[in-house]
């Protein structure tokens, strides 16, 4: 692991050659490296927390100097909060216990006698992961990279630089005692090398940006390297007329308020016109009680005007602008639109959504299946909160991020999303010229073999 004085090219080249070694290591060697990282972090706790305290102090100093600094940033930065260090350590062991994703045979075909084709999973190679100022993420992502046999170049948020340096020093020292090459995990501490790294498509195979919309858009437009992630999380929910009223209100409230800043939070509620006076008022009342501002189209606003509770919340029921239906609020605000039925709801989601997670609330299985098949999104749910879109909740053990891409990996991305495959052929000297139609040629067998 190179901390400083290493050019972007050197870092990427080292990561690439380490990836070739890492890809051939058995699971035991990769798991031993995780054990070593765990032990190193446990032993280095005091040193790391001291570094983290310096980051926190610097952040507080900046705030005192009048620079904007959100409380959530300080909260994410603080590795000394109760249970956080332990969770980080436990996360490494959790990753170690996951099934080995490398070397799984996913297809076997006998092309001819003594000529077998095999498709086998293997690591992608070198990942560039750019993430927020959360010190524990470096340990988490380093673990995922080692487990999946990929090298990783990591760039964390600048506010956490001291913590990153301390953690990466520990990881680097831990790796020297293992078969995993040191170059497999590279830390980048300055932002100015990112443009250089994004140019190195000969060494870097995949970029995973975690963070804001702006960062993801910048990266997508600045590199030929494939990018896995999501710029927006504009999740929608369709409240269909047959939905159970209590269930609907609960799911809508959870989707919107459980963690409003998350990408899987609800941003647009589509209400069937025939449900405006039946289901919608209770849901709206529950949202207003949680402090949610409702940005309503004329019909939904008119429906609320009739409700007894509306007068208490006048300032929280406002007219929606067109732009509200393309906005990821990430706050206690919700756009509400009236639709005639399923088709209009689906068309709205496929036009305005961000292909992240969209849900229908209905008692009709038939409508639910039509919605789930027709909406083009990584997650399509029936009677469940959009907040379920998460690698831990899906049972993947962990996630490197959530993808709204249309290729490779979609939705919460766990270890599987960090794998690709190769085809192996084992023969006895067969040549292409022997096969085909015509004199002396033979056909292929193409016999599917058990896995």
Within 304-343, the residues that bind a copy of itself by CB under 8 A are: none
CB nearer to a copy of itself: pick between 54 and 119? 119
Conformation bin of residue 290: beta by default, left when phi > 0, alpha when psi is -120 to 50 = alpha
The reply on whether position 205 binds a copy of itself by CB under 8 A is: yes
Calpha distance 129→6 (Å, rounded) = 17
Q: Rounded to the nearest whole angstrom, what is the least distance from the CB of residue 244 to a copy of itself in the complex?
A: 7
Tokens of 289: 């009680």
Half-sphere exposure of 307 (CA within 13 A, CB side): 23
Q: Binder to a copy of itself among 244, 273, 326, 344 (CB under 8 A)?
A: 244
| Contact characters 344-373, a copy of itself, x per CB under 8 A | --x---x----------x------x-x-xx
Q: How many Å from the N-terminal Cα to the C-terminal Cα in the chain?
A: 38
Q: How far is 54 from 265, CA to CA, in rounded Å?
A: 33
Work out whether 184 is an interface residue with a copy of itself (CB under 8 A): no
- Alpha-carbon distance of 130 to 395, in angstroms, equals 24
| C-beta separation of 333 from 318 below 8 A | no
Applying the rule CB under 8 A, the residues between 94 and 113 that interact with a copy of itself are 109, 111
Strand order in the sheet with 447-448: 115-123, 105-112, 447-448
User: What residues between 22 and 51 interact with a copy of itself by CB under 8 A?
Assistant: 23-24
Residue from 12, 117, 367, 415 binding a copy of itself (CB under 8 A): 117
| Min CB(41)–a copy of itself separation in Å | 22
- Looking only at the bridges linking them, the beta strands covering 293-296 and 317-319 are parallel
Minimum Å gap between C-beta 203 and a copy of itself is 11
Reading the block at residue 372, the tokens are 């789930």
Q: Would you say 50 or 215 has its CB closer to a copy of itself?
A: 215
Stretch of 137-145, 186-194, 216-224, 332-340 contacting a copy of itself, by CB under 8 A: 216-224
Considering the rule CB under 8 A, would residue 449 count as an interface residue with a copy of itself? no
Starting at the edge strand found earlier in the chain, the sheet holding 151-155 runs 185-188, 151-155, 126-130, 206-209
Q: Which CB sits closer to a copy of itself, 158 or 446?
A: 446
Tracing tokens 């490494």 back to the chain, one arrives at 92
| Closer to a copy of itself by Cβ: residue 166 or 418 | 418
Compare residues 141 and 378 and give the one whose CB is closer to a copy of itself.
378
Q: How many residues bind a copy of itself (CB under 8 A)?
A: 77
Q: Given the complex with a copy of itself, which of 247 and 261 has the nearer CB atom?
A: 247
Residue 394 in contact with a copy of itself, rule: CB under 8 A = yes
The H-or-E segment that residue 41 falls in is helix 27-43
Segment 405-434, which members bind a copy of itself (CB under 8 A)?
405-412, 420-433
* Separation of alpha carbons 308 and 358, rounded Å: 30
Q: How far is the CB of 155 from a copy of itself (least distance, A)?
A: 20
Half-sphere exposure of 258 (CA within 13 A, CB side): 16
- Binding residues among 118-177 for a copy of itself as defined by CB under 8 A: 124-125
Q: Could you say whether residue 218 binds a copy of itself (CB under 8 A)?
A: no
């Amino acid at each position: 692991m190179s901390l400083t004085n290493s050019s972007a090219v050197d870092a990427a080249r080292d990561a690439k050659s380490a990836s070739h070694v890492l890809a051939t290591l058995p699971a035991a060697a990769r798991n031993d490296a995780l054990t070593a990282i765990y032990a190193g972090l446990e032993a280095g706790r005091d040193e790391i927390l001291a570094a983290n305290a310096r980051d926190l102090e610097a952040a507080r100093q900046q705030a005192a100097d009048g620079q904007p600094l959100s409380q959530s940033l300080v909260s994410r930065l603080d590795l000394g909060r109760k249970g956080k260090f332990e969770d980080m350590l436990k996360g490494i062991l959790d990753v170690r216990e996951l099934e080995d994703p490398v070397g799984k045979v996913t297809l076997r075909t006998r092309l001819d006698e003594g000529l077998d084709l095999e498709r086998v999973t293997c690591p992608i190679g070198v990942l560039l992961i750019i993430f927020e100022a959360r010190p524990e993420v470096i340990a988490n992502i380093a673990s995922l990279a080692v487990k999946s046999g990929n090298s990783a170049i990591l760039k964390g948020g600048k506010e956490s630089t001291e913590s990153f340096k301390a953690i990466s020093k520990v990881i680097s020292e831990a790796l020297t005692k293992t078969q995993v090459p040191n170059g497999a995990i590279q830390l980048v501490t300055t932002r100015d090398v990112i443009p250089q790294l994004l140019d190195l498509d000969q060494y870097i195979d995949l970029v995973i940006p975690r963070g804001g919309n702006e960062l993801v858009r910048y990266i997508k437009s600045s590199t030929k390297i494939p990018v896995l992630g999501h710029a927006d999380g504009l999740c929608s929910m369709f409240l269909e007329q047959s939905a159970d009223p209590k269930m609907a209100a609960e799911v809508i409230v959870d989707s919107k308020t459980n963690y409003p800043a998350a990408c899987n939070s609800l941003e647009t509620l589509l209400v069937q016109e025939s449900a405006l006076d039946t289901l919608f008022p209770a849901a709206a009342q529950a949202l207003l009680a949680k402090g949610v501002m409702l940005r309503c189209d004329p019909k939904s606003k008119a429906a609320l005007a009739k409700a007894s509770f509306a007068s208490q919340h006048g300032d929280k029921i406002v007219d929606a602008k067109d732009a509200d239906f393309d906005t990821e609020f990430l706050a206690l605000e919700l756009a509400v639109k009236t639709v005639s039925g399923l088709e209009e709801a689906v068309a709205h989601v496929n036009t305005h959504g961000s292909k992240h997670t969209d849900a229908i609330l209905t008692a009709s299985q038939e409508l639910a299946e039509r919605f789930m098949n027709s909406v083009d999104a990584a997650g399509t749910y029936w009677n469940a909160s959009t907040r379920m879109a998460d690698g831990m909740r899906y049972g993947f053990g962990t996630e490197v991020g959530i993808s709204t891409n249309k290729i490779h990996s979609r939705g919460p991305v766990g270890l599987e999303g960090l794998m690709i495959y190769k085809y192996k052929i084992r023969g006895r000297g067969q040549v292409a010229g022997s096969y085909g139609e015509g004199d002396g040629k033979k056909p292929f067998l193409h016999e599917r073999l058990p896995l």
